[in-house]
Structure 1
Amino acid sequence: MTKAETGVRRKLPLQVALLIRNLVEQGVYGPGDRLPTLVALAERFRCSRPTVREALSILQGQGLVELHHGDGTYIRTATMETWMQPLDAALLLAVEQLEHVVGLVLAVLASAAGHLAQNCDADRLSSLNQRLFQMECFGGQGEESVSAELAFHLAVAEASGNTLTTNVVRVMEEAFRSCLRLTHQDGYLGLETCRAVVDAIAKGRSGVAREALFTYGDNMVRLLVWLRESAQSRADGGRD
């Protein structure tokens, strides 16, 4: 199994939760309705029962469904505005918008990293190494790992000394965080990229630093497209 396929598998509960939300928004299920059984939902979305169970837990955590032990899962009475709140900002954006978010942030960071490679002092390099160490401590696991990677990218922007660069990353922070969540794959790709960036900056290799971030952006976009196509395929299969 490729890393992209592994990433898709790990995001399946989020996709299934989104598909169930879509059914509610389309009027297939309404407030007070009981959802089909785990087996039926697993067959509809062509996934495992544990995946469906985790998807329902996501929706339950948002207060959108409620579990009646021994009786099934019911759609809670909620306003449509509640149901329309994003499950995850990145998953609900169009692919073109996702590409824009990733492309803009990584292009800005690539420029900042290239500049740093030519103008980095010991203090700024130490700051980047500290952020990298924090990423390694979390080992690519969970929300803390996503936050650590986001902090690393922000540190690169701030170390560049360019206020505009820092502001762009801050403005796009939450949208980019969503992209990181969806593409994290245990943080392996991000961690390896950040290691390569720090190494290139330390050696004064601006071109290598920029290329590492551009390549990372390309890989993120490919996986985001894969995720949405997978979700759409499951939705189409569920309507057959």
Structure 2
Amino acid sequence: MRLYRLSPNSLQFPAPTSALHEPNGLLAFGGDLSPERLLIAYQQGIFPWYSPGDVILWWSPDPRAVLFPEEFHVSRSLRRIMQRCPYRITLNHAFGEVMASCAERGQEGTWIGPEVEIAYQRLHLLGQAHSIEVWDGDTLVGGMYGVAQGALFCGESMFSRRDNASKIALLTFCRFFSQQGGKLIDCQVLNSHTASLGARDIPRRDYLALLGQLQPLTLAPHCWQPQTLSVVTLNSEPDSGE
């Protein structure tokens, strides 16, 4: 297997199955972050990830981390917080602020440079990228953003300025997304945080098959219009574990 250089004159990507084993999933380099190229990438299970100032790198790892909304793990501590949730949760009210906040997370967020922010804000203006915001009064304290692919949502990044704010954003989004007809959230690469929330690895071939099945599906009308989301109501019986 070899690493492909993308042509500036073509939007074509190599097959995801041709990605390198080490580093896991690295598929190609070069190209640009135009809306057209980004959307074609996501349609094929490919995403960009690179350090600001470096050449653009494109990835399709195997296995792929995913979260089925109904498998979100609600810990005892999160359940207690949701029973008295002091926050307001919105959809698509502050996409730019959410991206900027994700980019400020320190070492984990350094891949979100100005070029990436501009690119995804363009996708947002086209109705393809979306944000979930957690507010304490008028202060943004947490959130996440990603790219919609039919009944699949490709999560890109999240942040918290209050304990559990990003968990509240994801839990609220999981319930909302499921109610609108959403089936799967792409988490790209599993880490301890997403694993603790119920994400798990599946083979890339299974992810690509699900992507093909879920892309053509249509969500409920007005799903992505700016709105305030209902705070999740949980029953009193706690899930196991913290």
Higher helix share: 1
Kindly name which structure, 1 or 2, has the bigger radius of gyration based on alpha carbons.
1
**Fold in common (TM above 0.5):** no
TM (norm. structure 2) is 0.25
Higher strand share: 2
TM (norm. structure 1) is 0.25
